[in-house]
Chains A and B, each alone.
Chain A
């Protein structure tokens, strides 16, 4: 099938890596027509993969219908289906992939499997106009400092254990905070941190451009339990230490690569404190600071649809027989011929 670049080309993107089931419709020119989503909310504890997958299957029809309704187009107007192929939770990914395969065969349009991490970077670039940034991608499942070199997004630094968002989530649950709809744990911690006044010393662990959060998490929980500070103080200190670590490694990557931009993306990108810290280092290195807009920060279908479009336009598609999910698909394994550099 020839690549169709006409105004009427639309891609439907399905995201189902973890707790979010998202469907978006994006035009080939990069206009997000709709970006529907439904988030699985566990009654207690973290994400149970099987339960999350069940949630996705249950809401799929509703979220798909919502995406079409908001975009005001018909299924027949879709010329490409993209889906999040990995990395992520197997059962969740498989649910999204199944929906994508079914849609692509029913509509008789090509299918593109998209790397979730690339999706976060590409949507950040689309939304901010960044072209060649050092990217700090921070979410519940990932913490990666990356920049494009020779065909791929190379990983300059990453967490050696748990992800930044995961650290905040587990901390919040351990100290008894409650998640609210529309306000992830990170937002709850951020709110409390603003009221913190006293700094409680916590371990700061940076190894080159890599980071470790597990010791910090344990120490923060213990600091709260042993009453070294109020909950607000510990939230404040946890954010200060963790975000200083993130900022230091991002600055190190920036100094090393001398890229012209810093891009902050992923769910934790919505945190204002982190934004303000990264802005400082971008300015010091004469780089432009770009942050993904709040609506596109957390996992969403638009980032999958847009990355699918980029890949498809450069000749990449995924035949159904090769569309199995890849739960451990590393960012730097993805060949990205659509990026110039």
Chain B
């Protein structure tokens, strides 16, 4: 059963060996030429389980991978019970919102500390479980790097997502994200990344303080 049609993959809720699973299918995109299409799909299909596994090693909850089919660009993984942070963030109390944001920041910090750049940090890609854990999903655009630049871009995207989808609370939430981030990576590193985020923003077009 199709549960989410995303931009680069479709998610199907299936039963697989008596288990509720998510089948992530990177279906061919009709708008792309086959060479480019196959390259992008297979690259991301190999990459994603790899990085999901690395994230686990870093102590960040991610779904368990059951099977990978590169030729068909399919991944079968655990179905994570819970709610998208996107749906929760504006609905909860101010206190919960800040602690959730800080938890998210801590998890992003752990990823970065272990050289994992998520690449698509939006509140739709985080699931809050009934146990209060935040599970990170969708590592299709992730990459390995320990450099400052991609870390900055990663958090810049998080900030952007907060501003476009949760504009009411974006500022306080991002502040809390950075607070949690600093807890995970240390104050020094967090300072450097914060400066990088500002630099990236100023590089953007038409920024008043450039």
Q: Which of A68-109 contact B (CB under 8 A)?
A: 86-87
A240 with B36, Cβ < 8 A, contacts A149-B164, A254-B7 known: yes
A158:B205 contact, CB within 8 angstroms: yes
**CA separation between A149 and B164, bound complex, in Å?**
8
A256 with B121, Cβ < 8 A, contacts A277-B31, A284-B5 known: no
A48 proximal to B (CB < 8 A):
no
Q: Which of A224-252 contact B (CB under 8 A)?
A: 240-241, 243-244, 247-249, 251-252
- What residue in chain B is nearest A159 (Cβ atoms)? B205
Q: Which of B44-97 contact A (CB under 8 A)?
A: none
Q: Which of A174-182, A261-269, A310-318, A324-332 contacts B (4 or more CB under 8 A)?
A: A324-332
A65 proximal to B (CB < 8 A):
no
Q: Which of A288-341 contact B (CB under 8 A)?
A: 327-330, 332
**CA separation between A276 and B4, bound complex, in Å?**
24
Give min CB distance, B138 to chain A, whole Å: 10
A208:B122 contact, CB within 8 angstroms: yes
- What residue in chain B is nearest A146 (Cβ atoms)? B164
DSSP majority for the A interface?
Answer: mixed
> 11 A-B pairs, CB-CB below 8 angstroms?
A157-B160, A204-B36, A208-B121, A240-B36, A251-B7, A254-B7, A280-B31, A281-B31, A327-B206, A330-B205, A330-B208
B146 proximal to A (CB < 8 A):
no
**CA separation between A228 and B18, bound complex, in Å?**
51
**CA separation between A241 and B31, bound complex, in Å?**
11
A208:B206 contact, CB within 8 angstroms: no
Q: Which of under 10, 10 to 19, 20 to 34, or 35 or more describes the interface residues of A?
A: 35 or more
Which of B35, B120, B167, B200 meets A160, CB within 8 Å?
Answer: B200
- A285: B residues at CB distance < 8 A: 5
**CA separation between A330 and B160, bound complex, in Å?**
14
A35 proximal to B (CB < 8 A):
no
DSSP majority for the B interface?
Answer: loop
Interface residues of A (CB under 8 A from B): 86-87, 141-142, 149-150, 154-161, 163, 199, 201, 204, 206-210, 240-241, 243-244, 247-249, 251-252, 254-256, 276-278, 280-281, 284-285, 327-330, 332
B163 proximal to A (CB < 8 A):
yes
B17 proximal to A (CB < 8 A):
no
Q: Which of B120-138 contact A (CB under 8 A)?
A: 120-122, 124
A280:B122 contact, CB within 8 angstroms: no
B153:A207 contact, CB within 8 angstroms: yes
- A157: B residues at CB distance < 8 A: 160
Q: Which of B11-29 contact A (CB under 8 A)?
A: 29
B148 proximal to A (CB < 8 A):
no
- A208: B residues at CB distance < 8 A: 119-122, 141, 157, 160-161
- B124: A residues at CB distance < 8 A: 256
**CA separation between A276 and B35, bound complex, in Å?**
18
A252 with B167, Cβ < 8 A, contacts A199-B35, A208-B122, A244-B31 known: no
- What residue in chain B is nearest A86 (Cβ atoms)? B206
Q: Most B CB atoms within 10 A — which of A86, A201, A207?
A: A207
A155 with B31, Cβ < 8 A, contacts A210-B157, A244-B36, A285-B5 known: no
Give min CB distance, B84 to chain A, whole Å: 11
A328:B167 contact, CB within 8 angstroms: no
B167:A206 contact, CB within 8 angstroms: no
- B165: A residues at CB distance < 8 A: 149, 256
